[in-house]
Structure 1
Amino acid sequence: MPRPQPVLTREGKPLPTGHVKVTQQDWLATARDVLIRDGAGEVKILTLAQHLGVSRSSFYWYFGSRADLLEALLDDWEARNTAPILHQCTLPSDTITEGLCNFFMCFVDDTIFEPHLDFAIREWSRRDARVRGRIDAADTARLAAVTGMFRAHGYNAEEADIRARILYFMQIGYHALELREAMETRMGRLAGFLEHFTGRAPSEAEIADFTAFALKVAQR
């Protein structure tokens, strides 16, 4: 008796047999964890399958190849880390110091921005020119958003550009150094940071509101 032919998807892939235990997001989340912990070179189909406790064949239900997964990781990083910065910089703000508080939310709450993921991607880019291009594009977009925030509050183009670069590169460097300080200590410098980054003094209400937000995050 001839062996039955497998049922194919629209893309010509065989439908998986049995119970599919993991989702596409499970594969992506595991790949993200491995990327952060071990680097891009260890994001391998077999390795991920072992972490998930499934056969590697189920990978192909969601991705055509490892290259497709790596591309999905880059898209996921942009959605998790670049899009939130762009969003926070365009939130309504009555003052530039309030705008900076919106921006700073990204860097005190890792549910908005994931610093370990950002630096895993940057480390990957040192060995992959295409990933370097994605990093450069992301930094350009982020800087444009921060610059736009300053421009919206009346700074001229040159001053907005300079202040945006000082602010953004300092903040990225702050996380790159993995400084370990209590949130209370960091918030003690908030008023000074805001004033020196903008040239304008923040209100007591802005300081109180952002400090309350940051301390609440730290207590999770």
Structure 2
Amino acid sequence: MTAPVMFCYAHPDDETFLSAGLIRTLSDQGFPPALLLATSGDAGHKNGAYRDWTREELGALREQEMAVAAQVLGIADVRFLRLPDGRLQETDEALFVRQVAEAINRMQPAAVFTFPPDGGNGHPDHRAISRIVSKAVTEGHCGSVRRLYYVFSDSLAQEGRIPAVKIDTLHLWPDKADALRAHDSQIEAIRRYFGDLSLCLPERRYEAFALAWEDGAWWPEKTERQALEELGLPLS
């Protein structure tokens, strides 16, 4: 099986928080992407009815929740590495790179999306998956991948980077909200970030991504129009 685009994140729900609009847009255009998650999220928040669940129970539940969210967003394939949640930075680097590269190579994507180097919010797992995906892609382990994108962050803006892809989620919000609701075990954290899911908050409306690497070159200069064309997306 192949997918033209692959998203590589740390936990179930990362894909919806950061890129549900882009994922849904790709799927609607006939390019359903694949998703690789390093963990099952078994160290995640335990709210409501899930407070007394074991890590094993929570991890199994979050994989089930991810399957529902994937159906909502039109994700073609979801794979889990099932590495230790909260301790990705302790994983043997060579093994981690090999596992990520194998997962990417099974899908043969031309473009890969992941966290920026600082993880966006500093989360150690986010930083770890960003580092490992970047090594797998840029050091020649994933021959099909021509472009690596980072979720846009304040740290990238401070470096003078600009988004290559920006998605307005306003018209896609019902799907994004439904995918967020699918991650019910994490709903308290989700509501703290997004508020009332019946509304699209102005500060959560856009998803943005920087083109970090292309065909061996870091930080290529591309217009948003060029980046959208290469992803097969409608031009803004």
TM-score (norm 1): 0.26
The higher radius of gyration belongs to 1
Q: Which has the higher helix share?
A: 1
Q: Which has the higher strand share?
A: 2
